[in-house]
Chain A
Amino acid sequence: MNGEGPIGKRLLRKEDFRFLTGSGRYLDDIEAPRALHAAFVRSPYAHARLRHIDLTRARGAPGVVTVVGGAEVNQWTAPLRMAPPIEGLHPVEVATLPTDKVRFQGDPVVCVVATDRYLAEDAAELVDIEYEPLPAVASFDAALAPGAPLVDDALPSNLVSHQTFTAGDPARRFAQADRVIEAVFGQRRQTHLPIETRGALAIWDEGRQHLTYHNPNQVPHPLRSTLAARLRLSESQVTVIVPDIGGGFGQKIALYREELTVAALARHLKRPVRWREDRLENLLASSHAREDAARLRAAVTNTGTVLALDLALMEDFGAYCFYPANYLARVVAMILTGAYNIRDYSFDVQVALTNKCGNGPMRAPMAITSWIIEGTIDKIARELDLDPVEVRRRNMLRASDLPYVTATEQRLEDITPYETMERAIEEVDYAGFKRRQAAARQEGRHLGLGLCVVVESTTYGSAFYKAAGIPGSGHEAAWVKVEPSGAVNASVGLMASGQGYETAFAQVVAAGLGIDPAQVRLHIGNTDVAPYGMGSRGARGGTAGGSALHLAARDVADKVLKIAAQLLNLNTPDQLRLAGGAVERLVGGAWEPTELTFGAIARTAYLDPLRLPAGLEPGLEAHRAYDPPPMTFSNATHVCEVELAPATGVVHILRYVIAEDCGTVLNEMIVEGQQHGATALGIGGALYEALDYDADGQLRNGTLADYLVPTACEIPNFEIIAMHTPNRRNPTGSKGMAEGGVMGAIGAIGNAVNNALAAFGVEATQQPFSPEYLRTLLRGPLLSLSRI
Chain B
Amino acid sequence: MSKVPIRLSVNGEAHDLLVEPRKLLSDTLREDLHLTGTHIGCEHGVCGACTVWVDGRPARACLLFAVQIEGHEVTTIEAIAAEGRLSPFQQAMHEEHGLQCGFCTPGIVMTCEAWLREEPTIEETEIRELLSGNLCRCTGYQNIVRAVLKAARRARGNAA
The reply to whether the CB of A768 lies closer than 8 angstroms to some CB of chain B is no
In the complex the two chains form, is A22's CB within 8 Å of B43's CB?
A: no
The reply to whether the CB of B39 lies closer than 8 angstroms to some CB of chain A is yes
Q: Which listed segment binds A: B53-61, B114-122, B142-150, B151-159?
A: B142-150
The reply to whether the CB of B25 lies closer than 8 angstroms to some CB of chain A is no
Residues of A within 8 A of B33 (CB): none
Residues of A within 8 A of B64 (CB): none
In the complex the two chains form, is A13's CB within 8 Å of B128's CB?
A: no
CA distance A711 to B23 in the complex (A): 29
CA distance A276 to B127 in the complex (A): 32
Residues of A within 8 A of B23 (CB): 118
The reply to whether the CB of B74 lies closer than 8 angstroms to some CB of chain A is no
* Per-residue B-contact encoding for A685-729, CB less than 8 Å = 1, 0 else: 000000000000000000111000101110101100000000000
In the complex the two chains form, is B132's CB within 8 Å of A498's CB?
A: no
Q: Which of A20, A26, A192, A278 contacts B93 (CB 8 A)?
A: A20
* Per-residue B-contact encoding for A490-516, CB less than 8 Å = 1, 0 else: 000000011110000000000000000
In the complex the two chains form, is A196's CB within 8 Å of B131's CB?
A: no
Residues of B within 8 A of A705 (CB): 44, 46
The reply to whether the CB of A673 lies closer than 8 angstroms to some CB of chain B is yes
The reply to whether the CB of A19 lies closer than 8 angstroms to some CB of chain B is yes
- Nearest B residue to A500 via CB reads B100
Interface range for A: 35 or more
Residues of B within 8 A of A24 (CB): 37, 102-103
In the complex the two chains form, is A718's CB within 8 Å of B142's CB?
A: yes
Interface-central residue, B43, B44, B49, B136, by most chain A CB under 10 Å: B136
Residues of A within 8 A of B17 (CB): none
The reply to whether the CB of A28 lies closer than 8 angstroms to some CB of chain B is yes
Residues of B within 8 A of A245 (CB): 101
Main SS at interface, chain A: loop
Interface residues of A in 621-638 (CB under 8 A from B): none
In the complex the two chains form, is A715's CB within 8 Å of B105's CB?
A: no
The reply to whether the CB of A341 lies closer than 8 angstroms to some CB of chain B is no
In the complex the two chains form, is B128's CB within 8 Å of A712's CB?
A: yes
Residues of A within 8 A of B40 (CB): 28, 276
The reply to whether the CB of B94 lies closer than 8 angstroms to some CB of chain A is yes
Interface residues of A in 658-691 (CB under 8 A from B): 669-670, 672-673, 676-677, 679-681
A720 to chain B, nearest CB (A): 10
Residues of A within 8 A of B103 (CB): 24, 26, 194-196, 246-247
A19-B99 in contact given A712-B144, A717-B142 (Cβ < 8 Å): yes
CA distance A197 to B77 in the complex (A): 21
Q: Which of A18, A679, A712 contacts B131 (CB 8 A)?
A: A712
The reply to whether the CB of B139 lies closer than 8 angstroms to some CB of chain A is yes
The reply to whether the CB of A21 lies closer than 8 angstroms to some CB of chain B is yes
Residues of B within 8 A of A213 (CB): none
In the complex the two chains form, is A680's CB within 8 Å of B141's CB?
A: yes
The reply to whether the CB of A244 lies closer than 8 angstroms to some CB of chain B is yes
Interface residues of A in 169-195 (CB under 8 A from B): 192-195
* Per-residue A-contact encoding for B20-31, CB less than 8 Å = 1, 0 else: 101100000010
The reply to whether the CB of A330 lies closer than 8 angstroms to some CB of chain B is no
Q: Which of A22, A23, A497, A669 contacts B101 (CB 8 A)?
A: A497
Interface residues of B in 81-122 (CB under 8 A from A): 81, 84, 86, 90, 93-95, 97, 99-106, 109
The reply to whether the CB of A279 lies closer than 8 angstroms to some CB of chain B is yes
Main SS at interface, chain B: loop
Q: Which of A22, A278, A676, A711 contacts B37 (CB 8 A)?
A: A22
The reply to whether the CB of A29 lies closer than 8 angstroms to some CB of chain B is yes
- Nearest A residue to B80 via CB reads A21
Residues of A within 8 A of B145 (CB): 712, 717
In the complex the two chains form, is A22's CB within 8 Å of B76's CB?
A: yes
Residues of B within 8 A of A498 (CB): 100-102, 138
Residues of A within 8 A of B143 (CB): 673, 676
CA distance A497 to B44 in the complex (A): 24
- Nearest B residue to A709 via CB reads B135
A704-B97 in contact given A19-B102, A28-B30, A712-B141 (Cβ < 8 Å): no
A677-B138 in contact given A711-B132, A712-B144 (Cβ < 8 Å): yes
Residues of A within 8 A of B93 (CB): 16, 20
CA distance A718 to B119 in the complex (A): 28
Q: Which of A20, A244, A276, A711 contacts B135 (CB 8 A)?
A: A711
In the complex the two chains form, is A279's CB within 8 Å of B142's CB?
A: no
In the complex the two chains form, is A676's CB within 8 Å of B95's CB?
A: no
CA distance A679 to B37 in the complex (A): 28
B69 to chain A, nearest CB (A): 18
Residues of B within 8 A of A371 (CB): none
Residues of A within 8 A of B129 (CB): 712-713
In the complex the two chains form, is A13's CB within 8 Å of B94's CB?
A: yes
In the complex the two chains form, is A194's CB within 8 Å of B86's CB?
A: no
CA distance A32 to B106 in the complex (A): 23
A28-B100 in contact given A681-B137, A704-B47, A715-B141 (Cβ < 8 Å): no
Residues of A within 8 A of B49 (CB): 195
- Nearest A residue to B131 via CB reads A712
Residues of B within 8 A of A246 (CB): 39, 41, 101-104
Residues of B within 8 A of A235 (CB): none
CA distance A254 to B109 in the complex (A): 32
B98 to chain A, nearest CB (A): 9
CA distance A19 to B133 in the complex (A): 19
B24 to chain A, nearest CB (A): 9
CA distance A244 to B101 in the complex (A): 8
B142 to chain A, nearest CB (A): 5
A118-B22 in contact given A677-B138, A715-B141 (Cβ < 8 Å): yes
In the complex the two chains form, is A20's CB within 8 Å of B109's CB?
A: yes
The reply to whether the CB of B42 lies closer than 8 angstroms to some CB of chain A is yes
B123 to chain A, nearest CB (A): 13
Q: Which of A22, A192, A670, A680 contacts B106 (CB 8 A)?
A: A22
* Per-residue B-contact encoding for A357-391, CB less than 8 Å = 1, 0 else: 00000000000000000000000000000000000
The reply to whether the CB of A558 lies closer than 8 angstroms to some CB of chain B is no
21 interchain pairs, CB-CB under 8 A:
A21-B37, A21-B81, A21-B90, A22-B78, A23-B78, A193-B137, A195-B47, A196-B41, A246-B101, A276-B40, A499-B100, A500-B100, A673-B100, A673-B143, A676-B141, A703-B44, A703-B46, A704-B135, A711-B134, A712-B136, A717-B142
Additional A-B contact list (6), CB under 8 Å, known A712-B128, A715-B140 = A21-B81, A28-B36, A195-B101, A245-B101, A711-B128, A713-B129
